[in-house]
Amino acid sequence: MKKSDPQEFFPYHGGKLFCEEVDLSEILRKHGSPTYVYSHEGFRSPVERLKTGLSGLPVQICFAMKSNSNPELLKILKQCGIGIDLVSGGEMRIARSVGFSGNQMVFSGVGKLPEEIESALKNDVFSFHVESIPELDLIQEILEARFPPDRRARVALRFNPDVNPKTHPYISTGLRENKFGLEKSEILWVAKNLKNWPRIQIAGLSIHIGSQLVTLAPMKEAFQKLKSCVETFESLSKIELEYVDLGGGLGIRYKNEKPPTIEDYCKLIQKEWSAWIQGRRAATRVFLEPGRLISGNAGVLLTQVQFRKERKSRTFLIVDAAMNDLARPSLYGSYHEIIPLNSALRKGKTASTDIVGPACETADRFASGRKVPVSWKRGEFLALLSCGAYGYSMASNYNSRPRPAEVLVKNKEFFLIRDREKIEPL
């Protein structure tokens, strides 16, 4: 399989679908269906490729854990030596429990709560990525009210560069009309009024323009706007920034997109930032916040066909996974490749088919009018590919359905890393 392919870590062997060296049907026999399965190497490999591509540049990679927050998977990333991009106090507690230290974390988000800010300060989170001026005021107030006078907080201002990432409107974040970040005029106003926040040390500027970007052009444009913003900020404020954060957002292949490779992405970063960094007086680092790029193609969702329902105009395959287990198709109309565990079922006569879940919503649909073999019927097992990012982390209990189990595969072994949820706590 090609690098960065949905099946890179999920090959067929002897007619059966595997994850690394484990037959997926073995996992289903032991843990039931539906179940998320992740490849250990699937998580590790993109991180190693990023590290290689960025070698020589002073970089800090922070995994956007909202894409997948399973503690056992976070441990793999901890072993790779990277940090965490948080968006809530809950994520901070999970990351702490896995052994990440506060200074390996940056805290993003437009609506941080007072108790989340206080707890992040107590945990010595490296930096707050601030998205509004009232948020700066709130951090200042909390420091004054609850912390010793010499305690200051490091902050990076999130700059909204007004760039169109050309992705789905629900996952574009760097346009002026989006709720995220500060406009350049606001950032420059902060630069001129730093005395308002004596307990805050502005250490960087950050951007994150959207998710599932399949071209580098919007990133390049945003990088250039960021550089110019850094320059103006520093000349107005007379302070030297410690870092720039380039956000996440690089897309992966779900279907036939041709996203830039990790290597192309690293080349762009090297080209835009290496000389810039060397030309600066102060030591400066580059932060990245990839989520999907690391987790997306490392996981699949396994499901079993319950019923085949033939209509004159349409065929429905009703599977045992639903929109509560995997929300992306209902939420964004997103595409997931769906393949059978038994490779013999890949061939033969096809019919235009809707693959749907049992939830009481027409939106509970994983594929619409997809050409799939007519041999797919009750009892067969299927894998929805590219479910490692925004899969389990977006799962809910809609229809009072317990969330699925999660299993990690490493070489020949597999481990249950989260029990199937029980109905009693619900």
Ligand X SMILES: *Cc1c(COP(=O)(O)O)cnc(C)c1O
Among all residues, which ones are annotated catalytic?
360
How many other CB atoms are found less than 10 A from the CB of residue 150?
6
Binding site for ligand X (CB under 6 A): 64, 66-67, 85, 87, 108, 208, 211, 247-249, 289-293, 389
Task: Supply the minimum distance, in Å, between the C-beta of residue 289 and ligand X.
Answer: 4
Side-chain-facing half-sphere of 50: CA atoms under 13 Å: 25
**241 vs 389 by CB, closer to ligand X:** 389
Task: Supply the minimum distance, in Å, between the C-beta of residue 91 and ligand X.
Answer: 11
**27 vs 207 by CB, closer to ligand X:** 207
Look up tokens 């639903």; give the residue.
Answer: 322
Burial of 399 (0-12, 13-18, 19+ CB in 10 A): middle
Rounded CA-CA distance 211/217 in Å is 14
Structure tokens given for 266: 């690293």
In contact, 166 and 218? CB cutoff 8 Å = yes
Task: Supply the minimum distance, in Å, between the C-beta of residue 110 and ligand X.
Answer: 9
Listed in sequence order, the residues at least 6 apart from 405 whose beta carbon sits closer than 8 Å to its beta carbon are: 31, 32, 35, 36, 416, 418, 419, 420
**161 vs 249 by CB, closer to ligand X:** 249
**219 vs 323 by CB, closer to ligand X:** 219
Task: Supply the minimum distance, in Å, between the C-beta of residue 17 and ligand X.
Answer: 26
**161 vs 291 by CB, closer to ligand X:** 291
**67 vs 304 by CB, closer to ligand X:** 67
Task: Supply the minimum distance, in Å, between the C-beta of residue 291 and ligand X.
Answer: 3
**66 vs 112 by CB, closer to ligand X:** 66
- Residue with CB nearest ligand X? 291
**51 vs 346 by CB, closer to ligand X:** 51
Task: Supply the minimum distance, in Å, between the C-beta of residue 106 and ligand X.
Answer: 9
Rounded CA-CA distance 103/44 in Å is 22
Q: What is the CA radius of gyration of the chain?
A: 23
Task: Supply the minimum distance, in Å, between the C-beta of residue 51 and ligand X.
Answer: 16
Task: Supply the minimum distance, in Å, between the C-beta of residue 164 and ligand X.
Answer: 16
